[in-house]
Every structure is written in structure tokens, then in C-alpha cells.
Amino acid sequence: MSEVEFEDTGAIRLQKVLAQAGVASRRASEELMARGRVEVNGEVVTRLGVRVDPVRDVIRVDGRRVPPPSEHAYLLLNKPRGVVSTMADESGRPDLARFVAGRDDRLFHVGRLDTDTSGLLILTNDGDLAHRLAHPSFEIAKTYVALVEGQVPNSLGRTLSEGVELDDGPAAVDRFVVRDRGKGRSLVELDIHIGRNRIVRRLLDHVGHPVVELTRTGFGPLRLGDLKVGTMRDLSRDERGDLFDSVGI
């Protein structure tokens, strides 16, 4: 494969960029390049003298995006039930301000979670990323786990995938799995990219299985994992890279 060419103006050596991003030391980064494990803008780069613009150029190691350097904050919160998805609630209800108290940066949340829904919420001060994640054209899927009333039949997945008609128009899920059944209730998991108000609750209520408890466990490439309710953490380098990829940044 021919070596890709890059402009040197305002750029720095690729191995330095990798080291500053925390991928590996400069020497180890040079070894990664020599082994053909580093790509820039879709081209494998093995020449050590290559300079790149870490903001403009898309850099990957073993296929994973190395996000550009940024002064923005990217956080993942496991929102508890009973907390309103706003930074300042006029009615005095518990809100998100308690989780960011004492920080110098002004954070805002991406999208919303109902007050009675727990789970994954992104907090950031990156307006471009937040806009893209929330915009319907990017069709970012969210994953939910719901405890619902009744014994959910396996056939419900096909029904919801094909779509049903709600008061505000048709709606469908991208994926639906029954995880457990017992004592008049079922545990289900679903992916959906529609962002309309209370869409998951309304969908399941429409098909006769009202939601008892609802938790969002995924947002695009992000997963809640074992993050405890009411706690928050920074996104990892790989998570930020995957998130930027998901919206074309």
C-alpha cells in the first residue's frame, strides 16, 4: 500500500499524538506504526516521520478511533429514579445539579430521561456532539431494560419490530428480547432510536404490558455497565472515540 501524504503545516508527529492521547509511549507507538496497526484517514501509516493534525485527521489504532484532544468534558451518569432531567428544577424537585456541584465547567445533559426512569445519561459541555447525538437524523439507538406486567410472549418482538400506531404516529423498536418471566411479570430488553416523549412506556402499555420499572442501559456505543446508581464517571478514550464515530465527528 502506498504511503499516504500529509501536510506538515501546523501538524505534529504521529507517534507524539498517540503518546499524548495515552495510547502508548512514543517508542511503543512507533512499534504500533511499524506493525501496520495505525491508520490515518483510512490509510495505514508506517513511516515514522509522518505529521498529522490531531484535530482534523481521523486516527485509529487496531481499528479503534483515537479521539482528538479536547478541553470539553464527557461524563456518564447513572441517574436515579426520582431525579428530574434538568440542571435546575423550578419546583424544587431533585435535579442533576447535585451531581455536578463544585465543578468549574458548565455541563448540560444530552437528551432526557423521565423522572421515574433510571439509567444512562450523558453530561457534557460539547455543544456540537450534544446536538448530533440528539438529532433524529443520526438515529442513535438507546437500550432499555424494562420490568413489565404480564407474561410477554416471544411473538411480541415481531409485533414491535414491525411497528404499532400510537397517538402521535407509528413507532417501532430496533431489537426486542425477553430476558425473564415469572410471577405475572416479565423482564425485557429493547433498542429504539425514536426519541419521542415516554416512547418506551407508551409502546409497552399499548401492547398490554405496562412498565413497572425502566432503566436505560445503553446510548449509542456507550454502556452503563456496573456503574452504581447515583454515580458518575468520565468516558474512556475508546468510548469518546466510538461516540464521535457514531455521529461522524
Q: Return the active site residues.
A: 114
Helix H or strand E segment including 232: strand 232-234
Residue 40 has φ and ψ, to the nearest 5°, of -130, 120
Look at residues 7, 59, 69 and name the one whose alpha carbon lies nearest to residue 33: 59
Nearest by Cα to 211 from 85, 111, 95, 114: 114
Q: Which amino acid is at 242?
A: D
Using only the alpha carbons of the chain, give its radius of gyration: 22
Provide φ and ψ at 116, rounded to 5°.
-95, 15
Question: Three-class SS of residue 233?
Answer: strand
Residue-wise DSSP of 29-88? HHHHHHTT-EEETTEE---TT-EE-TTTS-EEETTEEEPPP-S--EEEEEEPTT--SSSS
DSSP codes joined into one string, 131-186: HHHH-GGG---EEEEEEEES---TTHHHHHHH-EEETTEEE--SEEEEEEEETTEE
Phi, psi of 160 (to 5 degrees): -75, -30
